[in-house]
Amino acid sequence: MDCIFCKIIKGEIPSQKIYEDELCLAFFDIDPQAPKHAVIIPKTHIASLEDITAENSGLIAHIYAKVPEIAKKLGVNESGYRVVTNCGTDGGQTVGHIHFHLLGGRLLGWPPG
Ligand code: AMP
Ligand code: ZN
């Protein structure tokens, strides 16, 4: 499968890793939208939020359970941050492997563009 995030998991594309365990990987976004911008992905290929099921939702829960640790590694746990997942065309999703953006290091605007 031609998925750039699966290639990052396999080490075929380099990444600046922040956190890794048997189920997920966090790395720095190549095009940061905030001073601190991590991308967190499950090591299992799930295309988007539309593909979450009762069977694989534990992976998503696992990722959220690791968010505070990743935020601490980025130094934004006290200042605050945002976790966001883009889904589909209107949601602005450009990579078809579900991922969670963790953004911080500046005051983030709302509503998003
Ligand atoms: P989205 O647009 O929500 O699908 O997010 C995809 C994100 O992946 C974007 O923020 C990209 O900058 C990021 N991205 C794409 N390729 C890489 C890469 N090789 N390493 C790190 N981040 C990447
Ligand atoms: Zn993938």
Tokens of 6: 């699966």
pLDDT at 57 over 90: yes
Query: What is the number of the ligand closest to the CA of 30?
Result: 1
Nearest-CA residue for ligand 1 atom 3 is 93
Ligand 2 centre distance from Cα of residue 104 (Å): 25
Distance CA 80, CA 87 (A): 23
Find out whether the beta carbon of 95 lies less than 6 Å from any atom of ligand 1: yes
Mean pLDDT of 5-34: 98
**How large a percentage of the chain has pLDDT more than 70?**
100
Reference 83, options 62, 67, 61; nearest CA is 67
Find out whether the beta carbon of 92 lies less than 6 Å from any atom of ligand 1: yes
Ligand 1 centre distance from Cα of residue 61 (Å): 21
